[in-house]
Amino acid sequence: MKFAFIVACVASACLASAFTLGSVSPAHAQLGGLLARRVSVPEISVAQVRKMQQQHQKQVDSAKKQEMPTPDPAFVLVDARSPEETEVSVIPGAITVKQFEAQQEKFAGTTVIAYCTSGYRSDRYAAKLIDKGIKAKNMKASILGWCAAKLPLETLDRKPTNRVHTYSSQNTVPKIYEAIH
């Protein structure tokens, strides 16, 4: 009983600090979900996202070959990490939350696939979108899973990179990447 009270107090403090600071603190990322309302967020795997990217690229290549307009993808990858993290790298084609929210009407009817470092922040962001009536999914394992599959990364200006912000030194990636934390 005493332990449950302590956990509830710590979680409440984390939630309060997160709302006060306007961001998600590391402690809130670990404990805040204990008290939060839970919206069911569909998940999508790294392999499924990669397959969708490849299928869309085939459609684009085919359209260009036939001198037709290039089709818009049926999804948009939204990186729910902090600006400091997204400045290091993103998954190819991804945009930031700020970019998505600035041009949300452009993506009407499109499935938002959110990701972060490991999946917590993107799950929360996808839940927020679902609450607003937007179709959204959370990418399981997020960018750490992407890197575990040894898939490419790029900068926000679409240049290839092997650098990835891992949020914490406890998060590891294959040696083909340079971990930044």
Is the distance from CB of 78 to CB of 96 less than 8 angstroms? yes
Residue 116 and residue 18: Cα distance in Å, rounded?
Answer: 17
Query: How many of the other CB atoms lie within 10 Å of CB of 80?
Result: 28
Cβ-proximal residues to 23 (8 Å cutoff; 6+ apart), any chain:
82
List Cα–Cα distances, 153 to 38, 54, 132, 146, 165, in angstroms. Answer: 31, 15, 30, 9, 11
Res 142: pLDDT: 98
SS3 92: coil
The pLDDT, as a whole number, for residue 2 is: 55
pLDDT value, residue 39: 75
pLDDT value of residue 17 = 42
Per-residue pLDDT of the chain (181 residues), as tens digits, is: 554 544 444 444 444 444 433 444 454 455 555 555 567 999 999 999 999 999 999 999 999 999 999 999 999 999 999 999 999 999 999 999 999 999 999 999 999 999 999 999 999 999 999 999 999 999 999 999 999 999 999 999 999 999 999 999 999 999 999 999 9
Distance CA 81, CA 110 (A): 20
Model pLDDT, residue 106: 95
Q: Is 3 exposed, middle or buried (0-12, 13-18, 19+ CB in 10 A)?
A: exposed
Q: Could you tell me which residues are beta bridge partners of residue 179?
A: 164
Query: What is the predicted pLDDT for the residue at 174?
Result: 98
d(CA 148, CA 174): 6
Q: Kindly state the tokens that stand for 152.
A: 């490419």
Give the amino acid at 63. Answer: A
Q: Which stretches of the chain are DSSP H helices? A: 2-21, 26-31, 46-65, 83-86, 97-102, 120-131, 142-148
